A and B are shown apart, each in its own frame.
Chain A
Amino acid sequence: KAGVTQTPRYLIKTRGQQVTLSCSPISGHRSVSWYQQTPGQGLQFLFEYFSETQRNKGNFPGRFSGRQFSNSRSEMNVSTLELGDSALYLCASSLDRGQGQPQHFGDGTRLSIL
């Protein structure tokens, strides 16, 4: 079974631009979560999608948004990019939202803001 797939692997943008990242979960997984990883702040939860609805959100500004499609694939969008948005963005999928459902991560998209 294929793992979580994220595209693209690397992105370089400039301040003020916007970016869209894509995540395909493990086949059959319906919950998709996004995390930001930086050396200073570590791994931080952005939001979680299930059944095409955002179910939970971390402490990030509204510039960070996402969506989920009927096939459970998810996209994350960041608008008006800032230098501090440079990070590794990780997507994780789990089978369901119920208790005891482990999350499995993709390789991430490394976003660099110039």
Chain B
Amino acid sequence: GENVEQHPSTLSVQEGDSAVIKCTYSDSASNYFPWYKQELGKRPQLIIDIRSNVGEKKDQRIAVTLNKTAKHFSLHITETQPEDSAVYFCAASVSGGGADGLTFGKGTHLIIQP
């Protein structure tokens, strides 16, 4: 089955700097890659997703890049703010969305230092 590796497990950046979280996946058939943000005690929230026919997607301060050849994708957060502090999860799916379940990475604890 699919295996998703996520790095780093903890990332501390100064407020205003950029943060990058990287994930690799094993199943070349995977074609949907969402990112979730989970604050302490709250539900995972979808912040951005990308499909295999797209190399990059942006939404304000957040961007995701996908390299299908290398089987890795990354989350980029620019101009980080204190409210960006949370655990971020990457995921991969073969059929895109709910049909076959998402395989998640172990998560990255992002700490924004004031």
Chain A residues at the B interface, C-beta cutoff of 8 Å: 4, 31-33, 35, 42-45, 47-48, 50, 55-56, 58-59, 90, 92-94, 96-108
Contact = CB atoms under 8 A, between A and B. Distances in A.
A50 B107 CA distance: 28
Given A99-B31, A100-B32, A107 B101 contact: no
Given A42-B106, A43-B104, A102 B97 contact: yes
A33 B104 contact: no
Chain B interface residue bracket vs A: 20 to 34
B73 interface: no
B97 A108 contact: no
A43 B93 CA distance: 14
B43 A103 contact: no
Contacts of B34: 102-103
Contacts, number: 83
A56 B49 contact: no
A104 B95 contact: no
Contacts of B49: 102
Given A94-B98, A99-B31, A105 B45 contact: yes
A29 B108 CA distance: 29
A67 to B, nearest CB: 16
B43 A42 contact: no
Given A42-B105, A45-B103, A101 B44 contact: no
Contact of B102 (A4, A96, A103, A107): A103
A99 B95 contact: yes
